Copies of this chain bind each other. A is one copy, B any other.
C-alpha cells in the first residue's frame, strides 16, 4: 500500500476540535457544557438573508461566474463604501469562505519556501493553509501583558530574510480580540513598503469593534499594490455554513492570478451567494443591536474573568474573542480536565487552550481563548464554573 504524502502527515489537526470527544463524553454523563471554545455565533442568521434563498425561483442550480455573481460583486461595492473602502466589482473575487481567500492569497503571492510573518497568537488554520501552499510561517510574538498589541517594528525587522514575502494580520484579531490602531496600521505600511512585502489582512470581524475605529488595510494609501484583504460573511451575518468569502485587492496582477485558481475550482457556492447578496441590503442599523449584544457579553466576560483570583484578561477591542491567563500549569491539560474530571452543579466549560494559537513552542501554556458566543446568562454560569474549577484544579499554580 502506497504511503500518503509527507504533507498529509505534517498537516496540523485542528487544535480547537481535538477536545470534542471529551465534550461529547461529558454530555453523555448528563453534564451541561458551555461552549466558549469555538467561534460559531449563537446569533440567528438574519431572516431576510435566509428568505432570499428560500424564496428563490431559479430552475437550474448552475455554476456561477468563477469570481462570483457579478450582481453580488457589484452590490459589495456599496458594502465596502460604508467603511470608506473604494473598490470596484473587478477587484473582488468571491471565494468559498474566508478560508479559500487565504489559500488563494498564499498560492498567488507566495512560492514554496517563502516566508510570511504573522503576529502570534494567531488563527490556527493559517498553519494548515501554509502547509498546503508549502510556505513557512514565521511568528512574531505579541504578549498578553501588552494586551496583544502589535509587536514593535524592530521585532518584525529582526525576522525579515530574503525569503520574507508577506505579513499577515487579522484585524480585529482572532484569537485575541485585539483591534489595531491607526498608528499600528501605519507601522505595518511602513514595514511593507520598506521591505517590499505583501500585507495580507484578514478582516472577518470588521463590524465588531467596540472601543475604536476599524482601520482596514485597504485604507492605507500608497500600499494599494501590497494589500490583499481576506473577507467573509461567516461571522458578520452568522452565516458560517454558507461558505462565502472574498479576496479583495487593488493589485491587478494578483487578481489575474487568483482568477486562474478560481477558474480551476469553477465557482463559489450558489445558494449562499444569494444569501450574501441579500445581506448587503440589511438596514444600516442591523449591526447596532448585534454589536451592543456582543459588547455587553464582552464586558461581562472580561469583568468576570478579572474577578477570579489569579486570572488576567486584557480588554479586547473587537471580534468576539478574549485570551485570558489562568493560574494553571498547562492549558491543554486544564481544558481536558474541565471536560473529563470536573463539574459544578452538573455544568462545565469548554475552552480553547491558547497553545494551539502560538507557533512558538511553549508559549500560551497558561492561556485560554474564550469566544463570547453565548448569551449573558450562560456566560455568567460558565464564569462561575470556571472560578470553581480553578479552586479545585490539581495543577493550579500562579
Contacts and interface: CB of A to CB of B under 8 A. Distances in A.
Interface of A: 1-2, 4-9, 11-14, 17, 40-45, 49-50, 53-56, 58-64, 66, 96-97, 99-100, 103, 107-112, 114, 125, 128-129, 132, 134, 165-166, 196-198, 225-226, 238-243, 251, 253-254, 257-261, 263-272, 275
B271 A269 contact: yes
Contact of A44 (B60, B128, B266): B60
Count this chain's copies in the assembly. Answer: 2
Contacts of A49: 61
Contacts of A53: 53-54, 271
A92 to B, nearest CB: 18
Contact of A241 (B225, B259, B269): B269
Contacts of A266: 97, 99, 125, 240, 243
Given A4-B109, A5-B111, A132-B261, A61 B50 contact: yes
A125 to B, nearest CB: 5
Nearest to A240: B63
A226 B108 CA distance: 32
Given A8-B257, A55-B54, A263 B13 contact: yes
Given A2-B165, A54-B56, A61 B107 contact: no
A114 B5 contact: yes
Contact of A59 (B45, B55, B96, B165): B45
Contacts of A254: 4, 8
Contacts of A64: 241
Contacts of A132: 107, 132, 261, 264
B61 A269 contact: no
B260 A242 contact: no
List 4 tightest A-B contacts by C-beta distance, closest first.
A241-B270, A128-B264, A271-B271, A8-B257
Given A53-B53, A240-B62, A7 B269 contact: no
13 contacts: A2-B196, A5-B107, A5-B110, A7-B108, A11-B264, A14-B260, A53-B271, A64-B241, A128-B264, A240-B267, A241-B269, A242-B271, A243-B269
A108 to B, nearest CB: 4
A376 to B, nearest CB: 18
Contact of A17 (B17, B54, B129, B263): B263
A241 B63 contact: yes
Nearest to A264: B128
* Most chain B CB within a 10 A radius of its CB, from A14, A53, A108, A265: A265
A61 B134 contact: no
A63 to B, nearest CB: 5
Contacts of A265: 96-97, 99-100, 103, 125
Contacts of A62: 40, 240-241
A236 to B, nearest CB: 12
Contacts of A58: 50
Contacts of A45: 59-61
A13 B13 CA distance: 32
Given A60-B44, A107-B132, A267 B251 contact: no
A112 B272 CA distance: 34
Contacts of A4: 108-109, 253-254, 257
B60 A238 contact: yes
A340 B21 CA distance: 61
A275 B165 CA distance: 42
Given A61-B275, A96-B269, A266-B240, A251 B1 contact: yes
Nearest to A269: B269
Contacts of A264: 11, 14, 99, 125, 128-129, 132
A128 B107 CA distance: 12
